[in-house]
Amino acid sequence: MATTPPQLESFFYAALTGLETIRVDDSGTVVSLTNTTAVPVQTGSPNVLTGWHVDANVSVPLAETYTFSWDSTNQQVSFSATGAFDLYLDGSTSAAFGFSDQYHTGASEYTSDLTPKAICNPLNIDYDAPRAAEETELRMLRWSRAIARKHYRAEVTTLRIMMTSAQADAVLAGPLLTSKMRVLPTGYTSGAYSASNTTGYLDVFPYGIPNTQKIGSADGHTMVEIACSVVE
């Protein structure tokens, strides 16, 4: 079965000003495309890129047909249409998608020229099987009977990621580590993680980086451990 390359992608929130809206114009009327929920950049339905181009394609002032996508081979976000259009990447969306300029005009396709901060395909992602993080109290009562009280807190896991140092510099400083993210491990085919799909995607909240290490020629690769709680 075909597998998707390992991938990290940020969740974009409707309430997070600066990442929820982009604008396009192909007919003299600028149309705002706004994400109204919390979704990842590309994987699953709905997602940010698909949501925006679906809105663009039903928008009456816009005449062209739009496709917004992530190119995992070239590590670029692509905003394209059937004809020339203007693209406005407002707020932090330009940095999130790896564009050095916020405003683009005159072409039918625009692609990232920098390393994106909101999505990337590391060389390898592995996660520990999520485990129950619990506090327990094991008490012994009279006549030597024992009881054990458990206080369930969350599921936790550790990601172990090998990526290029360029990706690490973008990822470790960007939106990916400040909020919820979707993790597609090495060997991912489809669906969410479960006991019957142990290479499924995980939605996690990172809470710490216990270990990073630069390795390889000219420190070109970085290994990162990220401690996360799992969204349930």
Partner 1 sequence: MSKGLFVSVSGWSDTSLTVTVGADSEAYVPTTDKDTPYGYMEDLETWCNAAARAWSGSATFSQSLLETLTPYLGTQLTSSVATTYAADSDLQTLLGWPASGQSATEIYSSSGVPSSCDGRSDVGNWTRRVRDVGNYARSGSFVIDSQYCALRHPQIELVITEAQAGALKDALKNSSDPRTAHAYRHSTKEWVEFSLGKVDVTRSQAEHYRAALEAIG
Residues of this chain that interact with partner 1 (CB under 8 A) are: 128-132, 134, 136-138, 140, 143-144, 146-152, 155, 193-196, 198
Could you give the CA distance from residue 8 to residue 118 in angstroms, rounded to a whole number? 8
Phi, psi angle pair for 208, to nearest 5°: -175, 155
Q: Please say which residue, 65 or 197, places its beta carbon nearer to partner 1.
A: 197
Question: In the complex, what is the shortest distance from the CB of residue 221 to partner 1, in angstroms, rounded to a whole number?
Answer: 20
* Span between the terminal Cα atoms of the chain, in Å: 27
Taking Cα atoms as reference points, which of 11, 19, 27, 113 lies closest to residue 62? Answer: 27
Could you give the CA distance from residue 68 to residue 111 in angstroms, rounded to a whole number? 10
Question: In the complex, what is the shortest distance from the CB of residue 215 to partner 1, in angstroms, rounded to a whole number?
Answer: 19
Q: Please say which residue, 100 or 232, places its beta carbon nearer to partner 1.
A: 232
Question: In the complex, what is the shortest distance from the CB of residue 148 to partner 1, in angstroms, rounded to a whole number?
Answer: 4
Question: In the complex, what is the shortest distance from the CB of residue 187 to partner 1, in angstroms, rounded to a whole number?
Answer: 11
Q: Please say which residue, 33 or 162, places its beta carbon nearer to partner 1.
A: 162
In which element (H, E) is residue 81 found?
A: strand 76-88
Dihedral sign (CA 226, 182, 11, 105): positive
Question: In the complex, what is the shortest distance from the CB of residue 130 to partner 1, in angstroms, rounded to a whole number?
Answer: 6
Could you give the CA distance from residue 117 to residue 170 in angstroms, rounded to a whole number? 5
